[in-house]
Amino acid sequence: MSQVFDLEAHPELSPIRRRSGKLRDTRITLSHGSGGKAMRDLIDDIFVGNFDNPALSLLEDQARFNLADLLAHGDRLAFTTDSYVVDPLFFPGGDIGALAVNGTVNDLAVSGARPLYLSCGMILEEGLDVEMLRRVALSMAKAARAAGVAIVTGDTKVVHRGAADKLFINTAGMGVIPKGVNIEASRARPGDVILVNGTIGDHGAAILSARQDLALDAPIQSDCQPLHGLISAMLAVCPDIHCLRDATRGGIATVLNEIAQSSSVCMRFTESSLPVNEVVKGVCEILGLDPLYMANEGKLIAVVPKEHATAVLAAMRAHPAGRDAAIIGEVSAAPAGVALLSTLFGGERIVDMLVGEQLPRIC
Amino acid sequence: MKYVDEFRDPEKAKVLLHEIEALVGCIEVCKQRPLQLMEVCGGHTHSIFKYGIEPMLPKSIEFVHGPGCPVCVLPMGRVDDCVALAEHPQVIFTTFGDAMRVPGSKKNLLQAKADGADVRMVYSPMDALKLAREHPDKEVVFFALGFETTMPSTALTVLQAEREGIKNFSLFCNHITIIPTIKAILDSPELTLDGFLGPGHVSMVIGTEPYEFIARHYRKPIVVAGFEPLDILQSVWMVLKQIAEGRCEVENQYQRIVPETGNDQALSAVSRVFELREFFEWRGLGSIDHSGIRLRESYGRFDAERKFSVPNLKIADPKSCQCGEVLKGVIKPWECKVFGRACTPETPLGALMVSSEGACAAYYNYGGVEMARLIRERADETPLEARQIA
């Protein structure tokens, strides 16, 4: 009969437990990226503590998933990545952390997927204020909780002062697409109806007014928000949504062009039906910008079969992320490959892709 | 939006269009050939296209897009000078955004920036002066560009720099003046213009009196026009009314902004700081006497051309480029061989394709379905075909 070894009777033989690290520095130094104790403290204190989930707490070099659990959600994986370099880091209605979670969640969600897991890669500039980093991590944690996703793996690098601007974040995301959902930019058909889930250009205008060099004082909030809740409400009334795209950089003009080209159709829309916040109109008017090209961080363009359009619109308006949703136009056969706008003034014009950068570093 | 939507009311536009059609019916010339109206200012060109005004008008009215886009008339050699200044290790070169992509003979300012030059986009010359205060160890050069519209703000910035005793701030002065250019166009034998829409913002500074010679000497009607679509339609109506009644006058449609005598304070700042150059090179139009502006000798210490040696070479436009003919209204933008082929808003050969106020960019972006079809066809040509045509 084997004897059970009593550890408590031999305290000298018990393993030396590692306490969770605590970061005491006020500024990031190169040692926080060196792989040593300082980095460990940073990861424990700022990331593991805030992102709090079992997969991350194990601190393996990778997160591991049970395939059977994934299969319970659907039959295809969706996988995406995005990097966030927004300037300034904090702006009305959001910050780089919330953006890094919601942006990637939305890239998954517009495939119809249920977003499940995110990674988080951080590139920190030497000298970054630790409190600022803590605020960003907290905001990421809050956004992830709100979106129902877990940040399960990550990486941190520190670069010399000047080699990056304060803080860059990359997030990759994984989700599962339910069986039968088939959303593609190439599925727009003549007769389909085009919808948007609310006012356009809010994020771009918020970033502009947050930039001090323009000395604009516009009371406008970024629309930074996750869209998967709204999308599942839409799918519940119309499982056969043809196309969905989130309209980030390049605005809705870019998305309408992408769909027009992928589906070889004409995306006809009317200026009078576009929801645009009065403040955004004002900012655009002063700076000579066009809301059609202004960035959004919580807006999508949907193309749905005509017979379901009213039901989808009602479902959107019943959801907080779609309160100001509107039908903005209809798909037609010709001229194929372009987005065509009926202007308020009674004319018609082609809305092409944006050439050059309207503004750098907006997301 | 208050004070904007009122000037974009489609119902009022219908009334005006109806009146315009009635007037066209009374004008004899319209029965033989289309009336040609030149909108001098690039801002008008942009509005005409953005709101789709030309297709609304009777076919017997044609717009000729004038030279009033300061970025578009900048010769290549001056852009090369900008690049040379920007690449000076001591210099922070500041510019308005739309000048960044104007092609030089080797590169534009955007490429110079990527190659390591310190080029910064500013929204006002005062921003450049602020940079000079913040970087006393550097020389901040402001790329001063534009007609009388932007001249006062440059002049006031120089006066401010003088007051503060700032020594590391200078201008690369490319300001130009509109009157000699209109005169040069009127003297050009290739042109058959019937009337002008006068520039709105320039006139806010200089007033309407300087245009009198157009009416008196050249017997052409001119109406100083605003930039909203109803402004433009009303101005067209006013020009037609003059033609129909056999009058040639300077009229002011943009009275809410343009005082007849101009802005005294702005004009006095301008004349304190600036003087006329004997001649200035315009892209596509050649050298025009007394059309360029430079700093007076007494403000020479703010003149980048005196502080640094710039190459100041005259560079011919690319042979395939027909900007000059387009500027003079001799050909339409799409009739240029490189339009939509080698010359696109992404890879502009000529400056008319760069600025949103340039006639070629306006046709390219807002030219309607037929223009889009033509552009797609040209883009689909094989590189070899495109090269042979170019």
- Separation of alpha carbons B255 and A340, rounded Å: 35
| Residue-level pLDDT at B311 | 83
pLDDT tens by residue, B61-85: 999 888 888 888 888 899 999 999 9
| Residue-level pLDDT at A177 | 96
pLDDT tens by residue, B307-331: 998 888 888 777 788 887 887 777 8
**ipTM confidence score:** 0.79
Task: Answer whether B64's CB lies under 8 Å from B38's CB.
Answer: yes
Give the one of A344, A347, A350 whose C-beta lies nearest to B56's C-beta.
Answer: A347
| Residue-level pLDDT at A5 | 61
CA distances from A351 to A263, A344, B364 (A): 17, 14, 11
Residue B283: is its pLDDT beyond 90? Answer: no
Q: What residues contact B103, with CB distance under 8 A and at least 6 apart? A: B76, B79, B348, B349, B350, B351, B354
B325 or B340: which leads in pLDDT: B340
* Look-up of token digits 């040593």: A36
Give the residue numbers in B contacting A (CB under 8 Å), as ranges.
1, 4, 8, 10, 13-14, 49-53, 55-56, 101, 123, 127, 229, 345-346, 356, 365-369, 371-373, 376
DSSP sequence for A54-80: HHHHT--SS----HHHHHTT-SEEEEE
Which pLDDT band, with edges at 50, 70 and 90, does A17 fall under? low
Mean pLDDT of chain A: 90
- Which amino acid makes up residue A136? V
Q: Do A282 and B1 touch (CB under 8 A)?
A: yes
Backbone torsions φ then ψ of B122, nearest 5 degrees? -125, 160
Residues of chain A neighbouring B368 (CB-CB closer than 8 A):
348-350
Closest-CA residue to A21 (of A32, A29, A5, A6): A32
- Which amino acid makes up residue A335? P
Residues of chain A neighbouring B55 (CB-CB closer than 8 A):
347
Q: What residues contact A321, with CB distance under 8 A and at least 6 apart? A: A197, A198, A225, A226, A227, A229, A230, A298
Q: How far apart are the first and last CA of chain A?
A: 66
Closest-CA residue to B265 (of B103, B360, B146, B156): B156
Tokens of A96: 């780089």
Task: Answer whether B91's CB lies under 8 Å from B141's CB.
Answer: yes
- Separation of alpha carbons A260 and A299, rounded Å: 18
Q: B280, exposed or middle or buried, with CB in 10 Å at 0-12, 13-18, 19+?
A: buried
Instruction: State chain B's maximal CA–CA distance in angstroms.
Output: 67
| Residue-level pLDDT at A358 | 60
| B221 HSE (CA, 13 A, CB side) | 24
Residue A50: is its pLDDT beyond 70? Answer: yes
Instruction: Report the 10 Å Cβ neighbour count for B130.
Output: 16
Task: Answer whether A51's CB lies under 8 Å from A45's CB.
Answer: no
Tokens of A251: 């605005």
- Separation of alpha carbons A193 and A185, rounded Å: 14
Give the one of A214, A285, A337 whose C-beta lies nearest to B123's C-beta.
Answer: A214
Helix axes A96-109, A228-237, angle to 10 degrees: 20
- Which amino acid makes up residue B110? L
Q: What residues contact A58, with CB distance under 8 A and at least 6 apart? A: none
| Residue-level pLDDT at A360 | 64
Residue B215: is its pLDDT beyond 60? Answer: yes
Q: Which of A212, A349, A357 to mutate to test the interface with B (most CBs of B within 10 A)?
A: A349
pLDDT tens by residue, A184-205: 999 999 999 999 999 999 999 9
B271 or B359: which leads in pLDDT: B271
Q: What DSSP designation does A273 have?
A: G
Q: What residues contact B303, with CB distance under 8 A and at least 6 apart? A: B170, B171, B173, B294, B295
- Which amino acid makes up residue A236? A
